[in-house]
Amino acid sequence: MNKNYRKECGFTLVELLVVIVIIGVLAGITFSGANYLLGAQEEKQAASQIEALSLALDQYRSEMGTYPRTEELTNPDDDFAKGVFLYRALLGVVDSNGDDIDKEERGKSFLPGDSITLGIQDGNRNEVSSLSDDEISGGSPPEVFPMDPWFEPYIYEYPRKDGHKGFLLFSKGPDGEASVFNQELTSTPEKELIDEDNIPPSEPGKW
């Protein structure tokens, strides 16, 4: 009687395997859900920061008469150089062409407080950075740039090489890739797979 009771209370190998499979499925669902929520949060953050930068650029143009111009930069095709220029122009330490402004002649900063994440290049990788009040109010600040949630600079360009009016401002999204348009477009371009995760989804080709 006791032997039979012990047999009935045990787990068979099949039952253990079923339990393990169920635990694996539940863990996979939880992991996928967490990744989805994290991705959605990052996309929302990027969209919010782009909106804040866009408002700052419109305020800049309202007072300065033009958006910060990238065509006169030493490296007009370098996304990092343009990001650094964008930050410095909105901070008020360089003019719309990228030339330094004397401390005594600097105007106000157009940057929207702490709503923008700053990044800095450290070798082959980018890291989150912050500036002290002395660095901001002193000479030229370190080469920081507005950085998206995937540790890449927001892409900024004005005037746009594709011929569209206004400025170009977007994130390449999680894959860090996007189409490039270096000449004026004569028709609406075809959206490539690498552009599916761009933020906003209409850039850089105004599809």
- Kindly report, residue by residue over 52-84, the tens digit of the pLDDT: 999 999 999 999 999 999 998 999 999 999 999
pLDDT < 70 stretches in the chain: 1-10, 32-39, 133, 136-140
Predicted pLDDT of residue 36: 60
Say if pTM beats, i.e. exceeds, 0.85.
no
Structure tokens at 134: 């002395």
CA distances (Å), 146 to each of 113, 115, 143, 194, 207, in order?
12, 10, 10, 22, 25
Strands (E), 61-205: 118-122, 125-129, 144-146, 155-157, 168-170
Predicted pLDDT of residue 156: 98
Predicted pLDDT of residue 49: 97
> How many helices and strands in the chain, by DSSP H and E?
4, 5
Predicted pLDDT of residue 4: 54
Rounded Cα–Cα distance for residues 33 and 161 (Å): 40
CA 32 to mean position of chain CA atoms: 22
Structure tokens at 205: 């080709």
Predicted pLDDT of residue 2: 53
Specify the amino acid at residue 183: Q
CA distances (Å), 154 to each of 63, 78, 200, in order?
23, 12, 11
Predicted pLDDT of residue 107: 77
Rounded Cα–Cα distance for residues 154 and 178 (Å): 12
